[in-house]
A and B are shown apart, each in its own frame.
Chain A
Amino acid sequence: MSPRSAASEATGGRLRPPARGPRAGLLRRHPLARFLLRRTLTAALLALGVTLVTFVLTNLVPGDPAAANLGQRAIGDPAIVAQFRHQHGLDKPLPVQYATYLGNLFHGDLGESQQSHQPVLTDLGTAVPATLELAGAAIVVSLVVGVAFGVVAALRRDRFTDQLLRVVSLLGVSVPTFWLALLAFYLFFYKFGIAPGSGRIAPEFAPPPDVTGLYTVDAALAGQWPVFWSAVGHLMLPALVLTAYTVGLLTRFTRSAVLEVLGQDYVRAARAKGLPGRTVLFHYVLRAALVPVITVAGLAFGALLSGTVLVESIFAWPGLGAYAYRSATTLDLPAVMGVGLVVGIVYLTVNLAVDVLYGLIDPRVRVQ
């Protein structure tokens, strides 16, 4: 052992602590790692903010949870009302209630739904994967189709294909989704009998063993192929209905983003290098054009995830939208707060993912 390293061990490695060395080095050398850490910490802070906002908003609702949950006769008895309020901590000042709420939250306790008499966490545990499956399918299809449409429209600018895609995307964004859902359900289920009915799988099947909560994935994992195909079949129609709007949106955004990038000097420079059109398009044009598209796709995905109330109702899809609707109409406050929290976290996560994608695509973002 050299005298120097011995000395550094003797001082407990104060100059360059060996234990912290590799990680600190990673963060210093990899701007992306630093960027990720910063964004994650910000997201955690924002999540705390979300709990405060949902809490305050829920308590601003002019309804009285006691009135909503106690029977008609019980509400006339001040003793019962007071007991209910005391039992649920509603007689304490709001800051104390918030502290209690936060404390419970950290233990994973979101309270009990007054409607289902189950922990809100359990309810959300089934509703969120259902919506995730639906929204995930919709956003994947939308991205593939929307980006492809947008690129083709930009490359065929002002020609017939472009005009056609313009009409298609305009229809997509302007047709009301609930109307499209009703129409699709009527046509493909009732009239032609191609699509399976409502729900997530055919009634003769039991749900696949719960791993991810996504029926398609769980069924495939368990090797239950009939269940898998039933789940895919049930997923198809509502997902395609949701796709109409996002495809229209993404087509328009991709088209304008690609057109803008096509006019950039670096695209001309790439052509001047004699690179094949395919390389120029995929490596030089699309990379830059996808940045604005990712933002829009992220927002669209957030909207899909935070519950598509009408589509979920029409297809009897037991997701977050349906749950939110039921909780809000019955003033089931713990459930409403739970939904609010989930929606907030969904947007935070999607935004974080978008930021990370930005960082991966555009190196200039990382240094800010």
Chain B
Amino acid sequence: MTTTETPEEAGGGTAAADSGIAAADSGTAANEGGIAATGGGTAEKGAAVLEISGLTLDLPAEDGTKRILHGVDLTLRPGRIHGLAGESGSGKTMTGFAVLGLLPPGARTTGRIAFEGTDLLTLPPRQLGALRGRAVSMMFQDPSTSLHPMLTIGRQLTDHLRHHLKLDRKAARARAAELLGQVRIPNPLEALGRYPHQFSGGMRQRIAIAIALACEPKVLIADEPTTALDVTVQAGVLRLLRGLCDDLGLAVLLVTHDLGVMSAIADEVSVMRHGRVVETGPRGRVLTEPHHEYTRTLLDALPGRSTV
């Protein structure tokens, strides 16, 4: 087992790591191309695009460290939505952060997160940065806080397009408008010049989806993507996610505490509790004949239990 210290994002690392990045960038970009080229076999159901095995996580606490994850195993496949359920504090969100190397400073991990064979946990920060937002991307719970309130939608959609894909301003804007059309934002070209507060919550989350999918990633970590939305808007966003997942062959890790959401669109379901995955299986099986007692408790807590 390998032990890695996560790069300290909030620390001086951000400023310092940067000085040398320009020179090395072209190299990683070339590497990227190689990875992208192998993506032809998305149709094969069995091929795992992201495989988490034996992931443990320790975070610094008042007295020493606290173990957050106790050996998590998860497998994501192209075109499939893998639901990750569990109550708050069970470690679902931290599992998502670990994939992108967005853990808080001082976090220590062991185990393996293999993205198409590359272990993301041991990847140097620079190469991880090149994958992040490009091959593996993430969307967050509350679009009113995860979109920068002072930058235009266009800016937030094109920054990483230009960085990762080396598009020029014009090409990036065209691609951004196309993406907004895909997530069904009316008047995409005009929307590029507007700010997040000028959109409704559901529209903002669609924009967040467009941002996450801009560079055509293979894996999307969706952290409670509908929790902050009105119930009436949730269904639309979920349908959109499902459609994009099917059309693009995207592997989605859908982190949610809402089993209703899970039952609506997930293909596979894993249930987490206290930093462990207690049950994994196809949605139908897990939600109708749960093996683990905790899953049963969760299901019983659901108001519309009989309809599942």
- Chain A residues packing against B (C-beta within 8 Å): 155-157, 159, 262, 264-266, 268-281, 283-284, 287-288, 361-364, 367
On whether the beta carbons of A274 and B133 are closer than 8 Å, the reply is yes
Q: Which residues of A contact B211 (CB under 8 A)?
A: 269, 273
Chain B 98-119, CB-CB to A under 8 Å as 1, else 0, gives 0010100000000000000000
**A157, B10: Cβ atoms closer than 8 Å:** yes
Asked whether A274 lies within 8 Å of B10 as measured between CB atoms, the reply is no
Report if A157-B11 is in contact (Cβ < 8 Å); known contacts: A272-B138, A273-B133, A364-B149. Answer: yes
Residues from chain B with Cβ under 8 Å of A284 in the complex: 148, 151
Shortest CB-to-CB span from A30 to chain B, Å, is 12
* Contact A270/B148 with A156-B11, A275-B160, A283-B159 known, Cβ cut-off 8 Å: yes
Is B195 positioned at the interface, with any CB of A under 8 Å from its CB? Answer: yes
Residues of B within 8 A of A266 (CB): 145-149
- Say what secondary structure dominates the interface of chain B: helix
Within residues 126 to 148 of chain B, which ones have a CB less than 8 A from any CB in chain A?
129-134, 137-138, 140-142, 145-148
Contacts of A288 in B (CB 8 A): 148-150
B12 CB within 8 Å of chain A: yes
Q: A155-B12, A270-B148, A281-B14 are in contact. List 20 more A-B contacts (CB 8 A).
A: A155-B10, A155-B11, A156-B11, A156-B12, A159-B12, A265-B142, A266-B146, A271-B102, A272-B132, A273-B163, A274-B129, A276-B129, A278-B14, A280-B14, A283-B159, A362-B149, A362-B150, A363-B150, A363-B197, A364-B197
A275 to B151, CA, bound (A): 15
Residues of B with C-beta under 8 A to A279: 159, 163
Q: Which chain B positions have C-beta within 8 A of A268?
A: 102, 140, 146
The residue of chain B having its C-beta at the shortest distance from the C-beta of A151 within the complex is B15
B145 and A273 contacting across the interface, CB-CB below 8 Å: no
The interface residues of chain B lying within 8 Å CB-to-CB of A362 are: 149-150
In the complex, how many angstroms separate the beta carbon of B123 from the nearest chain A beta carbon? 12
| B130 touching A283, Cβ below 8 Å | no
Name the residue of chain B whose CB is nearest to the CB of A287.
B150
Instruction: Please indicate the chain B residues that have their CB under 8 angstroms from the CB of A278 in the complex.
Output: 14-15, 18, 21
Is B178's CB within 8 Å of the partner chain A? no
Chain A proximity of B133: nearest CB distance (Å)? 3
CB proximity of B212 to chain A, nearest CB, Å: 8
Chain A minimum-CB-distance residue to B25: A276
State in angstroms the CA–CA spacing of A364 and B102 once bound together.
29
- Smallest distance from the beta carbon of B57 to chain A beta carbons, Å? 17
Q: Does B13 contact A (CB under 8 A)?
A: yes
The complex places the Cα of A288 from the Cα of B133 at a distance, in Å, of 22
